Structure 1
Amino acid sequence: MLKFVKGNLENIDGVAIYPIISLLIFFIFFLLLFWWVFTAKKAYIKEVSNIPLENEDNSNHNNIV
């Protein structure tokens, strides 16, 4: 199956740039994510991490009827 795809892609001019662009987008995204994680404020991280643990007065999740 791969030989059918590879054969068609070899005939397209400039197709080699697409894997390079994909790799660059992937690499840049994770570099930015890595940078954000290390520069985020600890108070913000703590506040966001406690969101699932907060009790809401209007929630019916724990009420047994």
Structure 2
Amino acid sequence: MLKYFKDAFTNYENASILQTISLLLFVVFFLGLLYFIWKRPKEYYEEDANRPLDDDEFYNENENNEK
């Protein structure tokens, strides 16, 4: 399957334009995602930051059983 895409992207005269456009789309998407994350208020992430991990529940149960 990779061979098909390699032939499709290299065997015509304007292959470099398609590669440039796909790289630009990737960069724009990545920068847009970073912008979206940085523009969120810090309070938006506080609830997730303070949420306990799944492993903490196991340790808390063991501590309660030992008492």
Higher helix share: 2
Moved over 3 A (4+): none
Match of 2:3 in 1: none
TM-score calculated relative to the size of structure 1: 0.53
Pairwise CA distance, 1:43: 1.0
Query: For residues 18 and 41 of structure 2, what CA distance do their matches in structure 1 show?
Result: 36
Is 1:28 the equivalent of 2:41? no
Task: Indicate the structure whose relative CO is greater, using CA pairs within 8 Å and at least 6 residues apart.
Answer: 2
Same amino acid, percent of matched pairs: 29
Matches within 5 A, 1:1-65: 9=10, 11-51=11-51, 53=52, 59=57, 61-62=58-59, 63-64=61-62
TM-score calculated relative to the size of structure 2: 0.52
Q: Secondary structure in 2 aligned to 1:16?
A: helix
Structure 1: runs of 5 or more not aligned:
none
Q: Relative to 1, partners in 2 of residues 1:46 and 1:12: Cα closer, same or farther, differing over 3 Å?
A: same
